[in-house]
Structure 1
Amino acid sequence: MTAPALVALAHGSRDPRSAATINALTELVACMRPDLRVETAFLDLSEPGFDEVVDRLVAEGYSEIVVVPLLLTEAYHAKVDVPQAAEQASSRHEGLRIHVTKVLGIESAFFNVLDRRLREALKENRVRELDALVLAGAGSSDPLANAMISRAARAWGSHHRLPTIAAFASSVPPAAGEAVRAHRADGRRHIAVGMLFLAPGVLPDRVKELALEAGAVAVAEPLGAEQEIAQVILARYAVGAVELVPLEAMFA
C-alpha cells in the first residue's frame, strides 16, 4: 500500500527568497524520508499552487494526501484558507482523501533555531553584550495567534534571563521599532531582535529595517530550512497519515 503523499503548504510570497527557503526545507524533509512522496505547494503568490500539486499527485495515482501547513500560528490562513483549499481539491477528485494537520506552531525545538540565528547575527555584528531582546512575528487580527507570539517571547526571554518584548510586523502593535525604543526608554542599549518567520520576505525585511532604525545592535535572520523544523513537519505528517487509516483497518 502506497503511503499518503506529504504536501508542505506555505502561504507564498512575491519575494523569490521565500519560495527558495520553503523549497529547501521541503527538500530536507524529503532527504530525511526518501520513502515518501514530498511536495511543496503555495496558497498564493508563488508556484506551484496547491491545486496544481494535487492534480499532479492524483494523475500519478495517489488517493491520499496529508497537508502540513507551514504556518507558525493558528490565524486566518490556518483556519480558513488551508481547509477551504483542501475541501475544494477533494471535491474535484472523486475518491481523493485529504487530511490537513495542525500547523507547525512554535515548538520548543524552534528555540534552538532562534538561538542559532541570533548567534550568527551577533557574530556578524561583533556584538559581545546583550541586555534585552525583541521577538518579532507576523502579527494577525486573531488575538490568539498574537498570544502565541507573546508566549514564545516570554519563554525565550526567560531562557536567556533577559527582558523580552514581542513585536509584530502587521495588524497589531508594537512594531519592532517600537519594541526596541521601549527597551531603550528603560535604559537598555544592547538590544537584539529574533525572527519568528520561516523564510525571508517583505515582512521580515520591514522588521529588520524598523529595528535597526530604532537602535537594535543585531537582527537575526528568519528560521530557514533547518532539521528541527523538518522533524516537526514529519511528526505532523505521521499523525495525519494515521488519521487517514480507516478504523476497521486499524483493528483488523
Structure 2
Amino acid sequence: MTTPLIAVAHGSRDPRSARVVAAAVSALRARRPDLDVRLCFLDLNAPTVDQALDAVVAEGHSSAVVVPMLLSSAFHARTDLPAVLDVVRLRHPHLQIQQADVLGQDPRLIDAVRERIAETYGGAENPGLGVILAAVGTSDPAANDRIRLLAESVVAGTPWSGGISCFATSTEPSVRQAISTVRGAGADRIVIAPWFLAPGLLTDRLSHIAEKCGPGITYAATIGSHPLLIDVMLDLYSLALAALTTHHELSA
C-alpha cells in the first residue's frame, strides 16, 4: 500500500472555497493517479482531519502523510493541526503520521501569483501597475513580516511599479491604506493579488472595500488549482514521506 497523502484545507462557510480546494486536489490526483490522495478540513467542512485518518486506518494503512494546504506557518499549522494529529495518534497508536511543511513561501507560488496578475491584464508588461498582495493577517508578527517580504518578491524582476502587502483582518496595512500608498508612489493602475488558495468571505471583503476606493483597481484570481501549487504539494509529500521512512528505519 502506498502511504496516503492527506490534504488538509482550512475550511470555510463559503461553498466556493471548498469547491476550489477540491478542484486543486482533483488536479493532484490527475497528476499522480498512482497516489492515494484524500481531502479533509480543519473546520467548517467535512470530512474532518480525524475522520479522514480514521478511514485510512479502517482501510488497513499503517502510515499517512498530512500536507497542510496552508500558506502561513501560523496558529493552524503550528498548534491546531498538530493537536488534532496527537489525538489521532492516541486513538491509533500503530498509525505513523508525518505532518509536512506548509505551502508557505515556496518561490513557485510567487510565480503562480505573478501569472494570476498577468492573466488579469492579458500580459506582464504594465510598467504603471502597482501590486498589492492581500493576505489574511495573523497574531504572529513574524508571519506578517514574511508576507510583506513576499509582496516585494512578487514584483521583483518585473516592470511593475512596486508591490506592498495588505491584510484582510485587523493587521495593518489595510487594503485602503495599501491602495493609498501605491497611488502615492505613482501607480496609475492597481491590482490586488490574493495570497489565498480559494475565494471566500475574506477575499470578498477585500474586493468590496477596493471597489469603494476609486477607479483603476482590479482583483486577480486566487492561486486555485494552479499547476505550480500541485508541484509544491507533491514535493512536500515526498519530503515528509522520506522523513517518515527514515524515522521508521531508525526506530525498527
TM over 0.5: yes
Pair 1:53–1:159, CA change in 2 (3 A): same
TM-score (norm. length: structure 2) = 0.92
Moved more, 161-170 or 111-120: 111-120
| 1:57-108 CA-partner distances (Å, limit 9, x unpaired) | 1100111010011111111111101111111111111301111011011211
SS at match of 1:244: helix
Deviation at 1:219, TM superposition (A): 1.0
SS at match of 1:160: coil
Match of 2:232 in 1: 232
Deviation at 1:128, TM superposition (A): 6.3
Residues paired across the two proteins, number? 249
| AA aligned opposite 1:150 | R
| AA aligned opposite 1:153 | A
Residue pair 2:111, 2:154 contacting (<8 A) in 1 also: no
Match of 1:150 in 2: 148
| 1:107-139 CA-partner distances (Å, limit 9, x unpaired) | 11112221222123224xxx9663321111111
SS at match of 2:73: coil
Q: Gaps spanning 5+ residues in structure 2: where?
A: none
SS at match of 1:145: helix
Match of 1:47 in 2: 46
Distance in 1 separating the partners of 2:17 and 2:186: 36
TM-score (norm. length: structure 1) = 0.92
Deviation at 1:153, TM superposition (A): 0.5
Pair 1:177–1:77, CA change in 2 (3 A): same
Distance in 1 separating the partners of 2:232 and 2:225: 12
Q: Gaps spanning 5+ residues in structure 1: where?
A: none
Distance in 2 separating the partners of 1:147 and 1:200: 23
Distance in 1 separating the partners of 2:79 and 2:226: 27
C-alpha RMSD over aligned residues: 2.1
| AA aligned opposite 1:222 | T
Distance in 2 separating the partners of 1:246 and 1:120: 42
Matched, 1:219 2:230: no
Distance in 2 separating the partners of 1:63 and 1:247: 14
Moved more, 161-170 or 4-13: 161-170
- Percent of paired sites with the same residue: 35
